[in-house]
A and B are shown apart, each in its own frame.
Chain A
Amino acid sequence: MSVKPAGRPDKPTLGSLQRSRSADVRGQVFLGLLLLAVTLAIGMVFAVLLSVIADGADVLSSRLWGFLSNPSSSDPVKAGVVQGIRGSLLIAAIVSVVAFPIGIGAAVYLEEYADGGPVTRTVEIAVRNLAGVPSIVYGLFGLAVFVNTLRGITGGSSVISGGLTLSLLVLPIVIITASEAIRAVPSSLSDGAYGLGATQWEVIRTQTLPSAMPGILTGSVLSIARALGEAAPLLVVGAAAFYTTGFQGFLDQFQGAFTALPMNVANFAKLPADQWAGHAAAASVVVLVVVFFINLVAIVARARITKRLGR
């Protein structure tokens, strides 16, 4: 504050009411701690990304195409992740076919038909608890049901079993995000349709679902990213560490041995580091690229669709 001219009455200004910043030691220390926490958190992101990229740079720069197109091998020079890419693609397909319709249907039921009675409460509690179950427990369930009980259909430890297990894993996520999207649709839309005499299903189909579509799509796409990053359930379901394939017949494609990208990372990471650390890092980079790309697609699609719908 400036020096006041003598003789003038000491009129309080807004500035004088504020305690000066330099005196606020506690506040400064606290803010410093907060900034330290933020720096640490962002530093963690960069440390993970940069160290993984640095470790994988060798493999990726010397034999990128070979790494992406070769199957698993015991020879570090030949080993690649094409089986993991194929498995992850099939898993993404199975998840979108199984989890999306059921999840979105359940969300519509919870938001539009639910009456708040004991039945609905049960469904809500079940969804919330399923969302908190550790992923490896889903693997146990998949092992008992899909791999052992339904062996005749799934073929045992196959991509069908893995995909179905991950579908169950992301189901609560799809339900929760779709519910949020549906809840955000203004009720004036459905009220108008009801006023015109539409049935409940017609209202849902022509008004609610189209308006909620951006949110539903985003949530669904993000849940695929989650499924593609999961390894623990696949480990228990029995994703193979090493197998050989040519191009097989129709059923073998789905019922035979399989693996997925995160399983490749885990397998490489479990091998002796001096030869295989670069492979684990390169596979990590591939997983990260896939997951970030899916996230990006979700964000961009959401922005564009929201704009198209004029909201």
Chain B
Amino acid sequence: MATAMRPDQDVKTSGQTAPWSPVLPTLTSRGVVAGVEVILYLVIVIMVAIVEYYVAGPITDFGLSNWWIGFVVYAAWTGWNWAGAQGPVGSYVDHFIADAAGRPACFSCIAVRQFTRFGILFGIPFLILDSNVWLSVALMVTTGFVIAAMPDRRAPWDLIAGTTITQSLAGEASVELPVLTKPSDLQLSGQRVAENRRAKRLLQLAGFSSVIISAYIIRVIFGEAWEFVAASDFEWGLLRDIGWFPRRNKFDLSTLFVGTLWITGIAMLVAGPVGLGVAIYLSEYASPRLRGVVKPAIETLASIPSVVLGFFAISFISPTVLQPVGGSLGIDFGIFSLISAGIAVGILTVPIVASISEDAMRAVPRELREASYGLGARPVTTALRVVFPAAISGISAAFIVGISRAIGETMVVFIAAGGSGGAIFEANPTEPGQTITAAMASLGAGTDSVAGSGIAFQSLYFLGALLFLVTLILNVLSDAIVRRFRQEY
């Protein structure tokens, strides 16, 4: 069918729908091109080896990494050529897109051709150097099938992605969307129907992947958590002890709950007012120009990785902010404290609260504001008495999502709250403490627990299950609030 969709043949502007006659290279030219490819591949491998020499020093073991990197570079180069159907490879691929009569070649013909083509190039080096027969065979087979399975042998979607990217980078002429060119393209052939069915099945599978993953996460995590409960002869007494020391069989959940509550509470004390203030300002007061400056700045905050904020907490918040302030109030702050970590988590949560509540307030129709101004209300009254109540469901959802994010935040607390391995029950937020997530991170960071057995390992999953449940409930709750109180305008 889509053999007629050739980017280099401009049927659209020629006016007439001339049938496309495939350019079939002779056997000699094919051989030459294949030879060029092999030489090119070897050149790439040698260049990789040279680069490697400068990066890693003298090469003692000319390992497979060179062949592998060469493969990636080569594949990118071929892909580039395929996208534009230009260069030696471009003309080379023509011969397996169609047979002599111009009909598209069969799936298996292409698969076989690709086995030989890529199998020789890539499978054999692996066979020789790794002497791993199955890996090499698997590589040959999958390469062949992946290439053969590309829809339509020369699929417009990859063609468009390729040309769009290359041309936009090169700043060249505009991309032409493919057009159906021949009336015969539009006749429903068995092949088109079969392809349609195949595509649907594949996409369905992709869609269900998230259900499968969800189910599997629940199964794995709750399965292991149950092992913990069973192994510890579940008594609540076991979960109430002097502190959280999993390696000494002391599993005091209240230690972790108090830490998590403090972190979440402090984070929301920071993120709630600041995020909401930003949201109201952006949606009600800011001019479009100012908004164009402030909003990206806040979004920058959202893209800062949490490890960086964890480091910020111990390098800036504790020594530069908390210790001087605490010193003047007579409170003694260390470098590691729940307050410091909580403030950093709050900074991370600001953009979440701000952007979700801003969206909610901007969704309030203009008419409500205009009516309010028409009655002589001031901006402050309009914002607080009209827009805010109308957007309350979205704003509460923003807070709940913020809370759920703060509860699930790991790295900041792991780095800045100071509890490593275990923690004694501590209700004072100026002291170091431990949260559910940080306890999990400490357990995971220890190499002995990753080995995969023992009650400390399973307590990791018990905490994971708790965390999963809490955040799930919060997310469902925020969804329900939005659904329940959504105002239909």
Contacts and interface: CB of A to CB of B under 8 A. Distances in A.
B464 A250 contact: no
Interface in B462-489: 464, 467-468, 471-472, 474-476, 479
Interface residues on A, range: 35 or more
B177 A210 contact: yes
A33 B277 contact: yes
Contacts, number: 368
Interface in A106-160: 106, 108-110, 112-114, 122-123, 126-130, 132-141, 143-145, 147-148, 157
B368 interface: no
B204 to A, nearest CB: 6
B314 to A, nearest CB: 7
A199 B180 CA distance: 12
Nearest to B5: A206
Contacts of B276: 37
Given A37-B278, A265-B308, A143 B157 contact: no
Interface residues on B, range: 35 or more
A134 B157 contact: no
A66 interface: no
A27 interface: yes
A63 interface: no
Given A55-B315, A105-B206, A106-B209, A197 B441 contact: no
A311 B377 CA distance: 40
Contacts of A162: none
B281 interface: yes
B157 A249 contact: no
A231 B192 contact: no
A27 B379 contact: yes
A185 interface: no
Contacts of A114: 207
A225 interface: yes
Contact of B307 (A143, A207, A217, A287): A287
Contact residues of B: prevailing secondary structure = helix
Contacts of B132: 251
A113 B335 CA distance: 54
A161 to B, nearest CB: 11
B441 A265 contact: no
A196 B180 contact: yes
B411 to A, nearest CB: 5
Given A105-B202, A136-B464, A145 B314 contact: no
A266 B307 contact: yes
The 7 closest A-B pairs by CB, nearest first: A37-B277, A134-B408, A105-B206, A250-B64, A229-B305, A109-B207, A236-B444
17 contacts: A36-B277, A129-B475, A136-B441, A141-B220, A144-B224, A157-B450, A197-B188, A200-B199, A202-B180, A205-B155, A205-B156, A230-B305, A248-B65, A250-B65, A266-B307, A291-B303, A308-B168
Interface of B: 52, 55-56, 59-61, 63-65, 67-68, 126, 129-130, 132, 135, 151-152, 155-157, 160-161, 164-165, 167-168, 174-175, 177-178, 180, 186-188, 192-193, 195-196, 199-200, 202-211, 213-214, 216-217, 220-221, 224, 273-278, 280-281, 285, 294, 297-298, 300-301, 303-312, 314-316, 320, 335, 347, 350, 354, 376, 378-380, 383-384, 401, 404-405, 407-411, 414-415, 420, 437, 440-441, 444-445, 447, 450, 452, 460-461, 464, 467-468, 471-472, 474-476, 479
